[in-house]
Amino acid sequence: MRVSYEPPLFDDQLAASLLRDDEKAFSEIYNRYWQRLYVFALSKLNDETGAEETIQTVFVDLWQKRRRNQIDNLSSYLYKAVKNKCIDHIRQRLVKDRHEEFLLNTFVDEDMGTEELLALQELKAVIDLSMKQLPEKTREIFKLSRLDGLSVREVSLALSVPQRTVEYHLAHALKVMRGCLRDFIVFGGN
């Protein structure tokens, strides 16, 4: 029985094959780079779960955007993509931490009773759940606008999207948030 030997492809050949929807090329890229990229992400995030999610997102993006990306240097492209996703992850973690701190500073009173503390914890859980229900782009726009305090124009410039797109995503986010938080809305009046 004769075994055929195929020499390993170079990165530029793999990138070119990826443009032609070659799943074997994608698998080879994944197998070749996953461990190295994971170690790199872990060194930046110091969070195993965050590093794994970051690498998975990079590879999903690589496949989904395979026809749109011009990849001249596969290794550089992947490391830059991981670096950018790590920055996004850290930014999201900081926003979440600021949001939690804001809730605690705003609502926690020294005289607050057990019932109020439980209600605050429940409110925080509902807010976190409602944020997770938002599509990624909508969540990102909502955080930049409502938690970071950027204007529609500033969000538009930061994400390189039209202002109407930002407005659309904000309207969608607010609708979802209102739906999730309707049990916590206090109606005024007699």
Q: What is the CATH number of domain 8-86?
A: 1.10.1740.10
At 31-48, the pLDDT tens digits run: 999 999 999 999 998 889
Highest mean pLDDT among 3-12, 140-149, 160-169: 160-169
At 77-94, the pLDDT tens digits run: 999 999 999 988 888 887
Architecture per CATH, domain 108-184, reads as Orthogonal Bundle (1.10)
Q: Is 131 exposed, middle or buried (0-12, 13-18, 19+ CB in 10 A)?
A: buried
- Domain spans, the chain: 8-86, 108-184
Which residue did the predictor score with more confidence, 98 or 156? 156
At 113-151, the pLDDT tens digits run: 677 777 777 777 877 888 888 888 998 898 888 877 788
For residue 110, pLDDT over 60 is answered with no
Q: Are 147 and 95 in contact (CB under 8 A)?
A: yes
In this prediction, residue 33 carries a pLDDT of: 95
Fold agreement (8-86, 108-184): no
